[in-house]
Amino acid sequence: MASNSQSKLSINFSDGQNVAGSSGDTQLNADVRYDLTVLDKNGTKVAEKNNLLAVNGTDVQAISFPADDTYEIVVNITGINRQGETLDESRNGIATGIVVVPEYPSGFTPISCYS
């Protein structure tokens, strides 16, 4: 991951209400509607993407970080779609994470969100 270049942000939503296994969560078998915001260390918005959809709880977004610095990733969950059901807005909320640029040379940053 380097400044002024496209980085891939992998987002995986898990179902914290229906836990299974030793990891304490399970894959979310639904599509998640969400907004994504990137803030710099001063809280200034440097990127924003709205009305995104994580199919089966998984998505990848391309983000360009403007400088070598620390950034806050804010994921705002706006609804969960299960096939054949109406939009579930009962578990909406915000998840945050920190990204330091430059980080590891892979260019792929995973982020997990629990609903």
Q: For 32-91, write each residue's pLDDT tens digit.
A: 999 999 999 999 999 999 999 999 999 999 999 999 999 999 999 999 999 899 999 998
Report the candidate in 55, 67, 72 with the shortest Cα–Cα distance to residue 111. Answer: 72
Residue found by looking up tokens 């809280």 in the block: 43
What global pTM score does this model have?
A: 0.79
| 89-110 pLDDT tens trace | 998 999 988 888 886 555 555 5
**Domain 6-114 annotated CATH 1.10.1420:** no
Cβ distance 57 to 28 under 8 Å?
Answer: yes
- d(CA 38, CA 74) in angstroms, rounded, equals 6
**Domain residues of the chain, as ranges?**
6-114
Q: How many residues does the chain have?
A: 115
Alpha-carbon Rg for the chain in angstroms = 15
